[in-house]
Structure 1
Amino acid sequence: MAKSDLPSITLRVAAEFLKAESTDKRPAVAAYAYSDGGHLLAYSPLGEKGETKLELPASREASAVRVVLGPAPEEKEPPALDELLRRGAIERHLTLRPGDAAPDLRIPVFPDVWRYWLLGLCLVKGTVLKRVLRNGVSVDFPVCHATVEIYEVDPLWIVLPKLPPYVIDHLRDILAGKLPPQPLPGPGPAEAEINAHQVDAASLDALHAAAGNQKLRFAAMSGSAQMFQQALVEHAPLIRPILCWLYPRFVTMQLIGTAATDECGHFARFIFKGFHNPDQPDLYFKVKQRLFGFFEVTLYAPTPIACHTWWDYPCGTEVTLHVSNPLAMTCKPCAPVIAGNNWVLFTAIGNHSLDDIRGAATTLSGSSHAGNVGLTGGGAPWGGVLMPRLDFDNALRDSLGVKYYRLSWKRDGEPDSQYKPLNAAISRHYAQMIASDLVLTAYSLGPQVVGAQGNLFEIPPAVPPVGQWTVADAVEDTANGKFDTTTAMGGAPILDGLVQLRLELFDAAGAAVNIGALGIDYYVPTYVDGGGNIHTTKASDPLLGLGAGLVQGNAMVLTLHVNNEHCSAHIGAPMVGGTGADDCCGVLGYHTDSDNVTMPWQASHPHGFATYGFLVKRGARDVLSDSGAVGGGSFSQTRTVGDLMTTNPAPGCTGGCTVAGFTENLSVYAMATNGWGRLSNYDGWDARAFVLSHL
């Protein structure tokens, strides 16, 4: 393109901050010049005296220039024109003619504007998570390296005037009690969206509250259109859920900023509050992620917008966005551990935190004793394949030369020489782009032989060889060891008893680490606060380990109560007056409705680690249920014939039955857990049917 031989035009712009005292802090302001077509020609921040110069390209013809005075850009690039106007920027329109001197602009800025520019910044922050369901347990993993788009939704006093008159009249009729609350039919694709959004409890509660509000009801019944709209605005908290349900397609929004998530899924961005919505912004979010180097996927954009808007967002508060898209790439969970220097945190068994294991939890120390040590806070034992989870301070590898750990186990009462190392393979996954393909690669942690030591596992490095850590499997990629209690490393299965898990550290040469000499401490979690921070206490705390702590020499030792026994369930014959239902046909005769029917059953577990549920059904109706701990194992329930014949009748059934068929169902549930879920394969079950017939 040929360079213009015309001189540039210098435009001087000054801001006059009205009613500003010399001691007042003033906002950072810039002047922007746009062509008539909206192209940015120049921009420059104002100096301390509130003045600046804009160098504009000259033109051979008269041209229209739009000068905008507004907040200085927080971003690397100046904001778009519509964003400046949203922030309350002031406009001046000029016509520049060839040969004419450019005028000097002195633009007054009123106090409500310049003070808003000073105070209008709002911090928006949050976390993007992907919820993974494994063995019935929900686990959240951070969605890293994604883009969060932040939108401002029009506030109610802007939305309401945009609603067509027929919508306002419809809402008026609903609040006045003239029409049932049903969505209006709408033309085109919007109709499907409206009809697909079903009413929820919040919408119903808001509708009832709005209909019961005297001012709203009066305005709906007798007020003018303006009075009714004003009443709606004044009662915004009641109207928003109704708007979400009945009229979601009338809500509009504007993109006001983007932010990138970090390795922990966190994002943060300063935005300007809209000048016409100065109190608290109403925000909506979308989340996008680029896959395969070129393919951008929208992970989060829930609809209807009005139902997923953060109305009156308090600046600086945490927003949590849960995505469910299976393509969402996640990173390993971040451990915001609050501990001392050079820490090793024994976090959990599976997904069950140590802060709920007796002997390892300070909060349970007052009720823990030799009879329940190693059980969960709810009294459950451990079984199946146990997967300990550990977290390590990066300083161990970076500064202290500690590179490996080893987990081993023994039965309670055995000498330390009987510790047997866990030797199942453990790995992590990282993601990288190879050409246009996203590739997941396994990074083996062990077992490894280092120096004279075998069965060592590498402390995961903070950064993978290339790319980023990701979670390909919620269970495998969070485990630091695998302890199969059903095979016990090839020995006899552990049916019931205490075991000890030992954790040791080794340096890069495979030599055992002296934790005292290096200032290393083992920790256990105590609780997780509202911000997701893991609070801890030293494993040597005398409140742990029944008063002895969990640190033995240079190792940490955790005691667990393991149980891999099966439950038993048996239903005995129901009886009337000492006569049981026959095993052949299951018929049980009775004389009067006052005769008692006794229903015995056995629900047991060798060591009582089970609960039961007993249910009796007549036809398709439940007539009796019982549940609880198995205890001694022997149970029975007695009901009169009249109760069994008449309790919980089906619709249309009157007068009860004289002959009826019944089923008894008994389930015995094992309490044992592997930390990810209850071991239902150890459950017991039985069923029996009988018929009550008048003799």
Structure 2
Amino acid sequence: MNKSFDNIVIPLAFNTKPADDIPLVAFLFSRSGKLLEKTVVRGDAVEFKTSGVNPRLYKVMVAPATDKKIEAVQSIAELDRFKPYELVLDINREGFINPILIPSDFSILWLMRSCRVRGKVIKNFSLGSVSQDRGICHARVHICEVDRIWWLISKIPDRIISKIPEIIATPQWPFPIPEPEPFEPPVFDPVGPVISELNPQPLPPRAGQFNFTAASEFIARSPALLNRLTERKQTLEENASAPAQLVAAQTAILASPKILNQLNSGNTAAIRKSIVENFAIFHPYFCHVPWLWPYFYRCDQVALAYTDLNGAFDITFKYWNNGDKPDLYFWVEYLIDGIWTTVYKPSVPCNTYWDYLCGSAVTIRVTDPRVRWECNDVIDGDIVWIKTIGSSASVSHIKQADQYSIIQGKLFNHVGLTDVFMSGGSSALDNYRRPFGGTLNFVVQFGSGLPANGMYYYRWSYRQLRNADLSNSPATALTSLHKGQALHKAYTYEYFDVLGHKHFGQNTFKLGPVALNGEDDLYIIPPAFPASSPVNAAELSPLWDQNTITASVDSTQFADGLYEFVLELFDVNGNKLAAIPKPIFQVPHYTSFAPSINAPDEYLLVNGVNADGFTMSARVDNQRCEATIYKIKVNGSEVSSDCCGFVPYPPNANIEVAFRAYHPHNFATFSFVVKKGTCNDALQQGFTNVSGMVIGNAGNYTRDSNSIYREGFSPAQLLGICVAGGKAAFAEHVYVTALATNGYDRLSYLDASDLAAFALEQA
């Protein structure tokens, strides 16, 4: 280059010629980090057109051009994920830039390797008494590579490094949430739930490769760190909820004088060296300290995959040849109402597959309640399979006739109730005790022979049979359940972007309502495939869920009680069908759900050997629970004149504990707990703690007509292991859990709870 600096020409070559050619691209930044120019490296030189200024005032970086995403880079931060090499420019006496040799480490690193990633996205679905893992189809799986600590350690500020010994020395479980840190790096993912299981695969050990001076070796200046670690290890061991990995890490640190010396040195270089050399040991601490994550864990997306009809994905990506296996993190999106929605995105540090073995299977378990059981197999023939209310409440598990049982001494009628198991419930309490509430979706699968001219439309109708107390309600005619509501059925299709990458889109088809031949609220029976008539979807590979939400109704508009729901069929001209062959109507198998069975007569509008439609009964209840804890009474009277909770008692006193756990129609369970100080007094808890349905007496407690539970205790029974002191403090908590479900979830917004405290002291 001449001294006029017309162009910037930089002689450039590899110190060791790589085994394969590596295309390079060079970036020219201002000192403030603004991108001025980028150009392809040709031959043995880089030439920038920028001129007029001394080239030493710029930052020049070179990176491999094998990943086309590098073309979109606009900043140094964006370029960093491509592992660039920064050129140090040196101008000789003739005014030319001296040749620059790219280190051999980079010629090896930039020779990217291929890795096949395969796996499955699943979710567990409960259908009646059946629980199954099912693949989630058409989910979008983001595959990210997590950078190893030696790429990040030099960028972590000293003020963060200096806090590490304190975190290691005095870990608490659960970790407290500190004041927000003023960190510079962007956060990859929002602070997710801190879980007790650290990660899908254990973090592998790594030999230190970072250059530190001999000053990193120190003799511990005091036994303080050792003493604190020893005390904290004992505390963690006594805490049953503390992760075993955290206790193991504490043990490993105590067994290493070198780690103790480095942490106790007060020298940030020594602490950095210890972090790099022992990251596998420190990781259990860092995993549970969210404000550290942006500094110690960075994640870049390397691949995007879509699951097939079985929930499986299989894709190959390129990764840096740094001598390690890739460390992979996964998060998942799913099309919900036409929008790609995140349904699985746990914290990066605790959910990374360290040293992922390329080609091995990964199982991603989704729990998001919005993800439905879709992509079912097509069923052949003229079939109408009425499956569920919501995604879980099998119609075969809704009691269709009066059936009585004795619960806590009270008569209970199970008609119209479901036994579907819900999270947070008890299998013992799910024996046909749940009514329906909230928004109810009626799910049906139609066979491949439909629609046909002779069976083209459907309609749901309803009427109330009984009141909330199960007394008969006035006789009424069937009324359309739809009330003119528009229903659409969504389907997915494939398309390719300008780079040839496959993606999925979504469209919808309107099922109705249609008014025809004097009949309102008719809805088209959807075909098995959207490409078929009458949908005629023109997109590439259109598919939809074989399940169809045939009606969606807000049950809060109904009075509580027992309802009949009727499904009727119509021909293409809108004529209501009668004398339909019974086998057309199917319901789930009671035990296995699938295959379906012919609907029993109790589910049919029987017309001789045929049927005029499908019918089922279901109880609707949207009532809220109530919960109250009352003041403690001594010998029948309240002795605390204020809200402070001190309860003086005489010898041989009767101390009454009382609370209210209520639901207007008894569709709730409750749990009442009395906790004494920090004690774990099993004997006292056996006297005071109780659970059950809100219908009648439970444990030692007697329920009155207002659903108030009362029981008297002696001072010794309550004081228990504290009886010698004659006093103790107590907390009381009652939680009333609504049993109602919408078929997807329990309606937890109907729950109620109360909390109180009191202290016993001798009068």
Under a length normalisation based on structure 1, what TM-score does the superposition of the two structures give? 0.51
Q: Verify: 1:638 aligned to 2:691, yes or no.
A: no
Aligned with 2:598: secondary structure? Answer: coil
Deviates more, 1:626-635 or 1:669-678: 669-678
Which of 551, 557, 571 is 1:480 aligned to?
Answer: 551
Measured after TM superposition, the shift of residue 672 of structure 1 is: 3.9
Q: Distance in 2 between matches of 1:568 and 1:169?
A: 51
Alignment of 1:461-500 (within 5 A): 480-482=551-553, 484=555, 487=558, 493=559, 495=561, 497=562, 499-500=563-564
Measured after TM superposition, the shift of residue 407 of structure 1 is: 1.6
Gaps of 5+ in 1: 1-30, 40-61, 67-76, 88-115, 130-139, 291-295, 325-329, 361-369, 433-439, 469-476, 488-492, 529-534
Which of 184, 190, 194 is 1:189 aligned to?
Answer: 184
Q: Distance in 2 between matches of 1:409 and 1:195?
A: 45
Q: Distance in 1 between matches of 2:365 and 2:756?
A: 49
Alignment of 1:548-559 (within 5 A): 553=611, 555-559=613-617
Q: Verify: 1:509 aligned to 2:579, yes or no.
A: no
Aligned with 1:480: secondary structure? Answer: strand
Measured after TM superposition, the shift of residue 123 of structure 1 is: 3.1
Contact kept in structure 2, 1:151 and 1:283, CA below 8 Å: yes
Q: Distance in 2 between matches of 1:202 and 1:573?
A: 41
Contact kept in structure 2, 1:341 and 1:520, CA below 8 Å: no
Q: Provide the aligned C-alpha RMSD in A.
A: 7.3
Q: Verify: 1:220 aligned to 2:215, yes or no.
A: no
CA separation of 1:340/1:159 partners in 2, compared to 1, >3 Å: closer, same or farther? same
CA separation of 1:271/1:558 partners in 2, compared to 1, >3 Å: closer, same or farther? farther
Superposed CA offset, 1:444-473 (max 9, x none): 6444333354432334576689999xxxxx
Superposed CA offset, 1:655-675 (max 9, x none): 649xx9x99998866544444
CA separation of 1:381/1:552 partners in 2, compared to 1, >3 Å: closer, same or farther? farther
Contact kept in structure 2, 1:409 and 1:420, CA below 8 Å: yes
Contact kept in structure 1, 2:629 and 2:734, CA below 8 Å: yes
Which of 124, 149, 153 is 2:146 aligned to?
Answer: 153
Which of 342, 348, 358 is 2:388 aligned to?
Answer: 348
Q: Verify: 1:311 aligned to 2:354, yes or no.
A: yes
Question: How many residue pairs are counted as aligned between the two chains?
Answer: 525
Alignment of 1:45-60 (within 5 A): none
Amino acid at match of 2:329: Y
CA separation of 1:266/1:211 partners in 2, compared to 1, >3 Å: closer, same or farther? same
CA separation of 1:192/1:570 partners in 2, compared to 1, >3 Å: closer, same or farther? closer
Alignment of 1:107-146 (within 5 A): 121-124=115-118
Q: Distance in 2 between matches of 1:175 and 1:568?
A: 44
Q: Distance in 1 between matches of 2:731 and 2:320?
A: 65
Measured after TM superposition, the shift of residue 35 of structure 1 is: 6.2
What corresponds to 2:433 in structure 1? 380
Contact kept in structure 1, 2:417 and 2:436, CA below 8 Å: no
Q: Verify: 1:592 aligned to 2:650, yes or no.
A: yes
Contact kept in structure 1, 2:118 and 2:312, CA below 8 Å: no
What corresponds to 2:328 in structure 1? 283
Q: Distance in 1 between matches of 2:257 and 2:315?
A: 43
What corresponds to 1:560 in structure 2? 618
Amino acid at match of 1:317: V
Q: Distance in 2 between matches of 1:230 and 1:257?
A: 32
Q: Distance in 2 between matches of 1:308 and 1:266?
A: 20
Aligned with 2:295: secondary structure? Answer: helix
CA separation of 1:609/1:278 partners in 2, compared to 1, >3 Å: closer, same or farther? same
Aligned with 1:426: secondary structure? Answer: coil
Alignment of 1:13-24 (within 5 A): none
Aligned with 1:211: secondary structure? Answer: helix
Q: Distance in 2 between matches of 1:143 and 1:509?
A: 36
Contact kept in structure 2, 1:451 and 1:510, CA below 8 Å: yes
What corresponds to 1:455 in structure 2? 521
CA separation of 1:580/1:616 partners in 2, compared to 1, >3 Å: closer, same or farther? farther
Amino acid at match of 1:424: K
CA separation of 1:648/1:669 partners in 2, compared to 1, >3 Å: closer, same or farther? farther
Measured after TM superposition, the shift of residue 616 of structure 1 is: 8.2
Q: Distance in 1 between matches of 2:660 and 2:586?
A: 46
What corresponds to 1:395 in structure 2? 448
CA separation of 1:218/1:603 partners in 2, compared to 1, >3 Å: closer, same or farther? closer
Measured after TM superposition, the shift of residue 507 of structure 1 is: 3.7
Amino acid at match of 2:354: W
Measured after TM superposition, the shift of residue 422 of structure 1 is: 1.8
Superposed CA offset, 1:531-554 (max 9, x none): xxxx633142779979x9xx9736
Q: Distance in 2 between matches of 1:250 and 1:574?
A: 52
Measured after TM superposition, the shift of residue 220 of structure 1 is: 3.4
Q: Distance in 2 between matches of 1:195 and 1:420?
A: 48
Q: Distance in 2 between matches of 1:36 and 1:687?
A: 66
Aligned with 1:336: secondary structure? Answer: coil
Aligned with 1:375: secondary structure? Answer: coil
Q: Verify: 1:426 aligned to 2:479, yes or no.
A: no
Q: Distance in 2 between matches of 1:316 and 1:687?
A: 47
CA separation of 1:689/1:502 partners in 2, compared to 1, >3 Å: closer, same or farther? same
Measured after TM superposition, the shift of residue 189 of structure 1 is: 0.8
Amino acid at match of 2:515: V
Contact kept in structure 1, 2:452 and 2:572, CA below 8 Å: no
Q: Distance in 2 between matches of 1:190 and 1:338?
A: 47
Gaps of 5+ in 2: 1-18, 28-41, 47-64, 72-80, 83-111, 124-133, 199-241, 263-270, 401-411, 420-429, 467-471, 493-505, 540-547, 697-702
Measured after TM superposition, the shift of residue 638 of structure 1 is: 0.5
Under a length normalisation based on structure 2, what TM-score does the superposition of the two structures give? 0.48
What corresponds to 2:693 in structure 1? 629
